[in-house]
Amino acid sequence: MLVVCQDFELLPEQARLDGHGGTIGPGRQGWRNVEFDVVHGQLLVRAEVFAFEIGVDRHLQRAASTDGRDEVDGHDPALLTNELDGFRGDIKVHTIANTRQSRITPGGSMVSLFRRMHAEGGFVMPNPWDRGSARVLEELGFQALATTSAGFGRAIGKKDQEVTRDELVAHVADLASFIAVPLNVDSEQMFPHDPGGVERTVQLLVDAGAAGISVEDFDPQIGSIEPIEVATERVARVCAAAGPSGVVVTARAENYLYGQEDLEDTLERLIRYRLAGADVLYAPGLTVPADIGRVVREAGAPVNVLAMTGGPSISELFDLGVRRISAGSALYNEAYGTLRTAAGRLDPRVRMA
């Protein structure tokens, strides 16, 4: 398989295409530190750009299969379609700061990749709160990441559910431009009281680069879980707005997070949300294996579970049929707990303040 971009030859056959990735280089004519990996059939290519700037008058000169056939010339540096190793894919080139990323995806985009990840098996999707934490998690090999409303809020000096829509959209755009894996968004109630309502929020998040979004049924303005009819109607509106983009919609039943441990009501809500169009179902706070197993069996859609101390292990959750596991604000809390402890050791007098 051969890809030539600005006369730089990228030869992925030098390493195994089995998910272990590799490093190719050094680059020339404007490329260096080229790396690639294959995740769920997606070829991810990263390279620093140092000698030229991409403009509308520049183009990817050639993309071809190994035998030199199927050459494609074009003047659009953002999109070049080509046949590589028997599948059709899109080569998408993004310039972010001094980094150029190429993505070759059989289905096209991060959205389609994220949707395929829910089709079978299971995966862990941890929650970064800024670029630094996102980089660490991506380098560790996690194949999808999710924002955390509580972690992000605290990181910018706010409480959970105090982040504005503009702040969330900017955060999503920043992370999505920085990572090379799908990003799911903890979008709370989808800001129904902001201009344009939930429909506008969906569009803003899609435009910002979200591969998935979520909508929950706890209303912070009244401090309680919404009536099931109100919550279901919002889920339906979110799903209708998200439909054209294909973005994955997760509907959340928040009972257990707020002390209402009613499995029957929770399950009824999840089923209603699925019938309203939700792709993934999520009841954060479930820890009893039998309850989780019942939700997986009866909800009728892929289930996300929040990893919690005292709950089943990751392997046990997968054995129960859970499709996706997230961490919420746990990693943020752990990191900042370590910060406080280390700072206290630095100067014990601060504990007296």
Same domain, 185 and 287: yes
Same domain, 178 and 77: no
Instruction: Identify which of 44, 188, 27, 36 has the alpha carbon closest to the alpha carbon of residue 105.
Output: 44
121-136 pLDDT, tens digit each: 999 999 999 999 999 9
Same domain, 27 and 142: no
Same domain, 100 and 117: no
Same domain, 59 and 181: no
Report if residue 351 sits inside a domain: no
Question: Which three-class secondary structure state does DSSP give residue 166?
Answer: helix
Q: Compute φ and ψ for 193, nearest 5 degrees.
A: -95, -5
Q: Given a cut of 90, is residue 26 above it in pLDDT?
A: no
Same domain, 143 and 277: yes
Instruction: Identify which of 209, 184, 230 has the alpha carbon closest to the alpha carbon of residue 96.
Output: 209
Report if residue 254 sits inside a domain: yes
Give the domain range for residue 32: 2-106
Report if residue 184 sits inside a domain: yes
Q: Given a cut of 90, is residue 59 above it in pLDDT?
A: no
Instruction: Identify which of 183, 193, 245, 244 has the alpha carbon closest to the alpha carbon of residue 214.
Output: 183
With bands split at pLDDT 50, 70 and 90, how would you rate the model's confidence at 46? Answer: low
Same domain, 96 and 127: no
Residue type, 333: N
Top-confidence residue, 342 or 79: 342
Same domain, 153 and 68: no
For the chain, how many structural domains are there in total? Answer: 2
The runs of H, that is alpha helices, within 12-159 are 110-117, 131-139, 149-155
The fraction of the chain above a pLDDT of 70, given in percent, is: 69
Same domain, 9 and 61: yes
The DSSP annotation for 272-325 comes to HHHHTT-SEEE-TT---HHHHHHHHHHH-S-EEEE--TTS--HHHHHHTT--EE
Q: Given a cut of 80, is residue 290 above it in pLDDT?
A: yes
Same domain, 102 and 218: no
The fraction of the chain above a pLDDT of 90, given in percent, is: 65
Report if residue 148 sits inside a domain: yes
Q: Given a cut of 90, is residue 235 above it in pLDDT?
A: yes
Same domain, 150 and 135: yes
What mean pLDDT value characterizes the chain?
77
Same domain, 147 and 234: yes
Q: How far apart are CA 198 and CA 268, in angstroms?
A: 23
Report if residue 95 sits inside a domain: yes
Total-model pTM? 0.72
190-201 pLDDT, tens digit each: 999 999 999 999
Report if residue 199 sits inside a domain: yes
Q: Given a cut of 80, is residue 70 above it in pLDDT?
A: no
Q: Which CATH number goes with the domain that contains 238? A: 3.20.20.60
